[in-house]
Amino acid sequence: MIYGRDINMTNKVVVGSQWGDEGKAKITDILAHDADLIIRYQGGCNAGHTVVADNKTYKFHLIPSGILYKGKTCFLGAGTVILPEFFEQEVNELIAHGIDVSGLKISPLASITMPYHTEVDGYSESTAGKGKIGTTKKGIGPTYTDKAARIGLKIGDLYNLETLNEKLDIILPLKNKTLEKVYGLQPYTKDCILALCEKYAQIFKPYVCFEWQELLENFRKKQILFEGAQGVMLDVDYGTYPFVTSSNPIGGGAATGSGYGPTMIDEVIGVAKAYVTRVGEGPFVTELTDETGEKIREIGHEFGVTTGRPRRCGWFDAVIMRYSVLVGGLTSIALTKADVFDSFDEIKVCTAYKDTRDGKVYTHYPTDVFMHKYLEPVYETHKGWKSDISKIREYENLPENCRKYLERLEELLGVPVSIVSVGPDREQTIFRK
Ligand code: GDP
Ligand code: IMO
Ligand code: MG
């Protein structure tokens, strides 16, 4: 017993193990069935999460997909950043779908994305030239920048006018100077910001949870699911920096961004596609710019949920995945989209990188991403299974070549593949015994 908690109950973190869009929401949705509390621990509305359940498709950005189950508590932790208008729109859409949002709670310590954050994100992206990151332009980087610089606004500030006024007197002169002098953007008056904050206070009022410490204490003995957004390779400390987001999607991020420390985490499930995709700029050693990449994009419907951008596609990369297992703290893998390969004759897996300049082979991920242009993937080739696996529900019933492929991935990564997803629907899931 730890904190009076039965240690057989496992608290799980769902982590994206590649560059995002691995199918985290589908896996979170399934695991949320047995969870009492679902906590989103980082990121903001840069995320685009899809859940297909009961013949309906739900799109989420900020709100944990656990909200689909009536009676669950969903908490947006201190590590998240929230764009108020976007949050309001998402909540309204869920209500319009008949979803009960009464279990939704927000930490007063979550950061607010202000209009100047989105303006700066847009400006930086439009003028960066070669240094462009390809962000979602949702103000994520500038919001986290202000948080780290200690000049950010938190949800809780909206409900104490004295604090808000004191903070704005420090923040606004600084902000306006940078907006005007660095970015050539319009400054904000204090009255304008106060009026916005009044509006935001109304938006968050039904959800802000000042009693969050009591809430988390009460759930200590229950089942907790931590939901990550983005992925390990987009982590600000460990990803393909600077082509990353500005938060910590790794398993450790759940310990800082949720309100619970690391002792409440038992398992970290890394969600990985059977191939790799990436949206935005940055290195991608196994990227396929040929008709095979096009085929994966078409069959896998690889277009962004948040921005609609076509996703870059490539073969499964065991080099980044081994790295992800290490830095993400992954204890097992949920492999999604294996069904996309149903018609493929051959499937490749990258086991190492080779430097085209001197022939040096890397089995560990080289972190100087500006040198990745000199790297080429070393592939092994697997025979396809050439049959429809989307209706299979038992691991033993998967075609032999498919099982061989999955077992080889386990061997390369050193962790078990505990879940195999064979389609977007909740039902299309195989649990390994
Ligand atoms: P997330 O951001 O990690 O939650 O992933 P997204 O929702 O952005 O993208 C994953 C997409 O793949 C969604 O459209 C899912 O409905 C879909 N999906 C998830 N798992 C599977 C699967 O096993 N097979 C297929 N064909 N689609 C899947
Ligand atoms: P989910 O949770 C895929 C990418 C952007 C860009 C970089 C920085 O759906 O997996 P940002 O707006 O965060 O400053 O952009 O990160 N990115 C994602 N890519 N899935 C996501 O979320 C992403 N969130 C951000 O494309 O390259
Ligand atoms: Mg996504």
* Ligand 2 pocket mutation, candidates 279, 324, 369, criterion most atoms within 8 A of CB: 279
Q: Which of 231, 250, 269 is the last residue of a domain?
A: 269
Assess whether pLDDT exceeds 90 at residue 83.
yes
Looking at the domain assignment, is residue 5 inside a domain? no
**What is the domain range of residue 315?**
273-431
- Dihedral sign of CA atoms 208, 213, 219, 225 in order: positive
Q: How far is the CA of 336 from the centre of ligand 1 (A)?
A: 7
Looking at the domain assignment, is residue 330 inside a domain? yes
Looking at the domain assignment, is residue 2 inside a domain? no
Does residue 423 share a domain with residue 373? yes
Task: Read off the pLDDT band of 1 (50, 70, 90).
Answer: very low
What residue ranges line ligand 2, CB within 6 angstroms?
16, 19-21, 46-49, 133-136, 138, 140-141, 229-231, 234, 245-246, 279-280
Nearest alpha-carbon partner for 224 in 253, 256, 254, 247:
254
User: Percent of the chain, pLDDT > 90?
Assistant: 92
Q: Which of 204, 238, 261 is the last residue of a domain?
A: 204
Q: What is the pLDDT of residue 304?
A: 81
Does residue 319 share a domain with residue 404? yes
CA atoms within 13 A on the CB side of 288: 21
Does residue 355 share a domain with residue 212? no
The question of whether 34 is a catalytic residue gets the answer no
Q: How far is the CA of 411 from the centre of ligand 1 (A)?
A: 24
Domain count, the chain: 3
Looking at the domain assignment, is residue 4 inside a domain? no
Query: Ligand 1: which residue has its CA nearest to atom 18?
Result: 424
The question of whether 49 is a catalytic residue gets the answer yes
Of 29, 36, 49, 342, the active-site residue reads 49
Looking at the domain assignment, is residue 7 inside a domain? no
The CATH number of whichever domain residue 56 belongs to comes to 3.40.440.10
* Tens-digit pLDDT profile for residues 105-145: 999 999 999 999 999 999 998 887 777 999 999 999 999 99
Does residue 171 share a domain with residue 217? no
Does residue 279 share a domain with residue 145? no
d(CA 296, CA 329): 29
Assess whether pLDDT exceeds 50 at residue 307.
yes
For 240-245, what is the mean pLDDT? 97
Does residue 126 share a domain with residue 223? no
For 21-32, what is the mean pLDDT? 96
Does residue 290 share a domain with residue 264? no
* Tens-digit pLDDT profile for residues 380-432: 999 999 999 999 999 999 999 999 999 999 999 999 999 999 999 999 999 98
Does residue 222 share a domain with residue 259? yes
The more confident residue out of 305 and 25 is: 25
- Dihedral sign of CA atoms 402, 403, 406, 409 in order: negative
When mean pLDDT is compared across 282-286, 289-293, 305-309, 349-353, the lowest value belongs to 305-309
Looking at the domain assignment, is residue 62 inside a domain? yes
Assess whether pLDDT exceeds 90 at residue 147.
yes
Does residue 79 share a domain with residue 17? yes
Cβ–Cβ under 8 Å, residues 338 and 403: no
Assess whether pLDDT exceeds 60 at residue 5.
no
CA R_g for the chain: 22
Assess whether pLDDT exceeds 90 at residue 372.
yes
Assess whether pLDDT exceeds 70 at residue 8.
no
Q: Would you state the torsion angle of the CA atoms of residues 403, 404, 410, 412, taken in this order, to the nearest 10 degrees?
A: -160
Q: Share the mean pLDDT of the chain.
A: 95
Assess whether pLDDT exceeds 60 at residue 348.
yes
Report which bound ligand comes closest to the CA of 311.
Answer: 2
Looking at the domain assignment, is residue 1 inside a domain? no
Q: Which of 269, 290, 319 is the last residue of a domain?
A: 269
Ligand 1 pocket check for 314: Cβ under 6 Å? no
Does residue 399 share a domain with residue 361? yes
For 10-26, what is the mean pLDDT? 97
Q: What is the pLDDT of residue 127?
A: 85
* Ligand 2 pocket mutation, candidates 234, 241, 305, criterion most atoms within 8 A of CB: 234
Looking at the domain assignment, is residue 64 inside a domain? yes
Does residue 133 share a domain with residue 228? no
Does residue 28 share a domain with residue 79? yes
The CATH number of whichever domain residue 318 belongs to comes to 3.90.170.10
Assess whether pLDDT exceeds 60 at residue 80.
yes
Query: Ligand 2: which residue has its CA nearest to atom 5?
Result: 135
Q: Could you write out the three-class secondary structure of the chain? A: CECCECCCCCCEEEEECCCCCCCHHHHHHHHHCCCCEEEECCECCCCCEEEEECCEEEEECCCCHHHHCCCCEEEECCCEEECHHHHHHHHHHHHHCCCCCCCEEECCCCEECCHHHHHHHHHHHHHCHHHCCCCCCCCHHHHHHHHHCCCCCEHHHHHCHHHHHHHHHHHHHHHHHHHHHCCCCCCCCHHHHHHHHHHHHHHHCCCECCCHHHHHHHHCCCCEEEECCCCHHHCCCCCCCCCCCCCCCCCCHHHHHCCCCHHHCCEEEEEEECEEEECCCCCCCCECCCHHHHHHHHHCCCECCCCCCECEEEEEEHHHHHHHHHHHCCCEEEEECHHHHCCCCEEEEEEEEEECCCCCEECCCCCCHHHHHHEEEEEEEEECCCCCCCCCCCHHHCCHHHHHHHHHHHHHHCCCEEEEECCCECCCEEECC
Q: What is the pLDDT of residue 129?
A: 73
Assess whether pLDDT exceeds 70 at residue 29.
yes
Q: What is the pLDDT of residue 4?
A: 53
When mean pLDDT is compared across 127-136, 173-182, 285-294, 317-326, the lowest value belongs to 127-136
Assess whether pLDDT exceeds 60 at residue 349.
yes
